[in-house]
Copies of this chain bind each other. A is one copy, B any other.
Amino acid sequence: MRRMTARPANTHQARLLRLLRDGGPNSRAQLGDQVDLSRSKLAVEVDRLLETGLVVADGLAASRGGRRSHNIRLAPGLRFLGVDIGATSIDVAVTNAELEVLGHLNHPMDVREGPVAVFEQVLAMAAKLRASGLAEGFDGAGIGVPGPVRFPEGVPVAPPIMPGWDGFPVREALSQELGCPVMVDNDVNLMALGEQHAGVARSVGDFLCVKIGTGIGCGIVVGGEVYRGTTGSAGDIGHIQVEPDGRACACGNRGCLEAHFSGAALARDAEDAARTGRSPELAARLDGAGKLSAVDVAAAAAAGDPTALDLIREGGNRVGQVIAGLVSFFNPGLVVIGGGVTGLGHNLLASVRTQVYRQSLPLATGNLPIVLGELGPVAGVTGAARLISDHLFSPA
């Protein structure tokens, strides 16, 4: 099929496209209720959108007591590709224009293998999704990488855990390969966007989204928009010091949050507890290579293992301590916790909450929900689709 070529010509059209994206099919009359435009002006803009092919008239809706309305919806053939590159795996999904995930693939891969190898894998996954009939092509793609990004150019800058990616023109390269517009962002920001679009953070203007995976990062949303900072490294909380003269961190400092608690740190601590005989539950879960993951710790905790519970509680205290500071500083309306450790669930949440509610001032915490993300692995890819759709659904 012919891919999306047109862009909205003005802010009205952009507004209408986003309403249709976020609210599904709608009649002209219903759209009119939401946009503060006269019916006549609205009709003109809808007609123009129909001409561009971005939206289509799609049959008649049931009567609401009068003449039946024509359903207007985004072109059903539009497809976005959402890519979420983590430290240890890749998620790729296809969505329709309403950002509903139509198909989703996950593949383990070490990001340190470098952009070329990773790109090959991403393209193979995209091809597989296309071959399965979910898309004939992509109208746009969003991609998240686990490190800071110079956002306007779509280029990673000085990413600590993926040094081979420094300066690699992710946006341009992927755009070339896919033949469609591409936007690049930090994976944590995309998780925040995903939870904002379809998850727990709907209708919250200012919130924090703490992603605890291999590392730790924090998405910052101000007034509904992702805040990226001066050099694109905002939210990089993994190297905040939580213990003077604490553990050595890969960054060269001591006592960084990430060194004391993160997916990687938790796994190391669990493996240590297993090997030194402090936890038979964990020892029983060691794999052939003597490795454990956050999932194993969650399982051991669920089985009542006190050492596993201690590790989770201890970790929650560490993150909670940092989050408490951020809550005092940022005064968010919501804190979302997600990433690979979501499986640790309420044990983790409980100790985070304890720290925050104890350390921050009542005015900041009084009405502050601290919750787990509800989208899991879909958050990142949904956020990626949202990123490119926000870009395409804005005036050219």
Which residues of A are at the interface with B, using a C-beta cutoff of 8 A?
Answer: 148, 157-158, 160, 205-206, 218, 220, 222, 227-237, 239-241, 251, 253, 321-322, 324-326, 328-333, 358-364, 366-368
Contacts and interface: CB of A to CB of B under 8 A. Distances in A.
Contacts of A236: 328-329, 331, 361, 363-364
A231 B206 CA distance: 11
Contacts of A324: 240-241
Nearest to A330: B234
Contact of A329 (B231, B237, B364): B237
Given A234-B330, A241-B325, 12 more contacts: A206-B230, A222-B227, A228-B331, A229-B332, A229-B364, A236-B361, A237-B325, A239-B361, A240-B328, A241-B324, A253-B359, A322-B325
Nearest to A255: B359
Contacts of A232: 331, 363
Nearest to A205: B230
Copies in the complex: 2
Contacts of A237: 325, 328-329
Contacts of A228: 331
Contacts of A157: 363
A363 B233 contact: yes
B331 A251 contact: no
A226 to B, nearest CB: 11
8 contacts: A157-B363, A158-B363, A160-B361, A233-B328, A233-B331, A233-B364, A240-B324, A240-B328
Nearest to A230: B333
B229 A366 contact: no
B359 A241 contact: yes
B325 A240 contact: yes
B230 A331 contact: yes
Given A236-B364, A361-B160, A363-B148, A229 B326 contact: no
